[in-house]
Structure 1
Amino acid sequence: MHDPSAIAALLRARFRRHLPSSLNEPTRPERRLVELPLHIAWSGLRTLDLDRPRQRMSLYRTVLAEGMRDDLCRFHNRGILLELWPVLHKLISRAIKDIWEEAFPERRP
């Protein structure tokens, strides 16, 4: 049987390693349509239209959960993250939410 607290600690460490150094680092993709690489979205919808609110939310949720530091910088934008955070933080895992809110207190609802 696996120790839930040990698993939680491993997840937190993983997500902490992926954090950008600042919220100013991420920049929004220049194109309206964004195709996520396979290492982020290995099933389901991979091409997302950033002008469609549900797809934009899906992009941010997926990249937060599966992306590496470079992916977070490539696919995210500070203003949009802050705008989406009141809903987005309810759709992501507690480990991701806690790490991001600890690192960037302005994200707290």
Structure 2
Amino acid sequence: MHDDPSSIASLLRARYRRRLPSSLDELTGPEHGMVALPLHIAWSGLRTLDLGRPRQRMSLYRTVLAEGMLEDLCRFLNRDILLELWPVLHKLISRAIKDVWEEAFLELRP
């Protein structure tokens, strides 16, 4: 895939690419319980989410993928949960995020 360097989509993909962990194994976030996201990630809406509630778990993953930096991705996302959620999650996130993550990690490709 060749991006037009001046396109917004290309800039977004580059931004998300810089934040990627080198491996999904770096995603060591919690599997259960309540998670309080910092203001720089969840600047609007609910900031404390319950991983035991499917909608809140999905919301947390959408928000962290969109707004989190590398450290946040590793701290708040869990590899196994990401893999479990991906078949639905990839339809709920931006095309730029989906493309970057699926290009980087074979495990996420359909």
Fold-level similarity (TM above 0.5)? yes
The Cα offsets for residues 8-56 of structure 1, whole Å up to 9 and x where unpaired, read as 1110000000101101001122761111000001110000001111100
Aligned residues: 107
**How far does residue 102 in structure 1 lie from its aligned partner after superposition?**
0.2
Give the residue type in structure 1 aligned to 2:87. Answer: P
Aligned counterpart, 1:70? 71
Structure 1 alignment gaps of length 5 or more:
none
Q: TM-score, normalised by structure 1?
A: 0.92
The Cα offsets for residues 59-98 of structure 1, whole Å up to 9 and x where unpaired, read as 0000000000000000011111000000000000000000
Aligned counterpart, 2:53? 52
Task: Report the RMSD for the aligned CA atoms in angstroms.
Answer: 1.7
Match of 2:49, SS state, is strand
The percent of aligned pairs where both chains have the same amino acid is 82
Q: TM-score, normalised by structure 2?
A: 0.92
Match of 1:40, SS state, is coil
Structure 2 alignment gaps of length 5 or more:
none
